[in-house]
Structures are given as structure tokens and as C-alpha cells.
């Protein structure tokens, strides 16, 4: 069956994480291999996912699309049973309220000014 653009984005997220987790190239990550690894190593995979998200936030903090990308990672992880720690979720929520939401409002105001 054809995958929606959203499903392809989720798969890309899983491949990106799987590449780091399994120490292989992104294009070599097979979903079945990743899911099996998660089943066998559940708790340590959750820890690695926490580290992955924190590193990603630090490396890409200037990216305008960071908010959407993190939402995709969270959704992708949820799909295959990876649970992010509360400390990571709290950090994401803080970024949401202190950084991402204000930036979004500024962008919206700029767009309104341009339309006038």
C-alpha cells in the first residue's frame, strides 16, 4: 500500500534514530531489525531515545522546523513503543512555551504586517 507523506516522515525519523542506535547507515536501517532490537533491549532503547532527542535539540536549536521535527520523533517513537522520559518531555514542554510559541507569534505578526 502507498504510504502517506506523514507516514514517510515517521519512517524517516525511525531510520534516523535506528541509524544511531544500531550504528549503521540510515539507508541500511530495516524497520523489522529496529523493532526486534527494541523488543530485546526495551529499557536501554528508551534511554538512548532520551539522549537522541536531547542531542537533536542541542544540535538543531536554530532550526525553524525543530518544533515539528520533535513532534514527528515523539509520534514515531510512540508507534513502536519507545517511551521518552519525563525529564525530556518536560524540556520539550518548556521549549514549547518559552521559545517555540513566542517565535511562532512573532512570525505570525510579521506576516500580518506584510499583508497590510
Domain boundaries defined on the chain: 5-85
The CA distances from residue 111 to 55, 67, 98, 99, 103, in Å, are: 32, 19, 21, 19, 12
pLDDT (tens digit per residue) in 76-101: 999 999 999 999 999 999 988 888 88
- Which pLDDT belongs to residue 116? 75
Q: What is the pLDDT confidence band of residue 61, given thresholds at 50, 70 and 90? A: confident
pLDDT (tens digit per residue) in 5-58: 999 999 999 999 999 999 999 999 998 999 999 999 989 999 999 999 999 999
- Which pLDDT belongs to residue 108? 87
Tally of helices (H runs) and strands (E runs) in the chain: 6, 0
Which DSSP state fits 28?
G
- Which pLDDT belongs to residue 2? 84
pTM listed for this prediction:
0.83
**97 vs 38: CA distance, rounded Å:** 32
- Which pLDDT belongs to residue 99? 84
Amino acid at each position: 500500500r502507498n504510504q502517506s507523506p506523514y507516514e514517510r516522515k515517521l519512517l524517516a525519523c525511525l531510520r534516523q534514530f535506528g541509524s544511531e542506535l544500531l550504528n549503521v547507515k540510515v539507508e541500511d536501517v530495516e524497520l523489522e531489525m529496529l523493532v526486534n532490537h527494541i523488543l530485546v533491549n526495551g529499557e536501554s532503547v528508551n534511554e538512548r531515545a532520551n539522549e537522541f532527542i536531547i542531542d537533536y535539540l542541542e544540535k538543531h536549536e536554530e532550526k525553524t522546523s525543530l518544533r515539528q521535527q520533535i513532534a514527528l520523533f515523539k509520534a514515531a517513537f510512540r508507534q513502536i513503543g519507545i517511551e521518552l522520559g519525563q525529564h525530556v518531555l518536560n524540556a520539550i514542554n518548556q521549549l514549547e512555551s518559552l521559545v517555540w510559541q513566542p517565535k511562532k507569534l512573532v512570525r505570525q505578526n510579521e506576516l500580518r504586517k506584510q499583508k497590510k
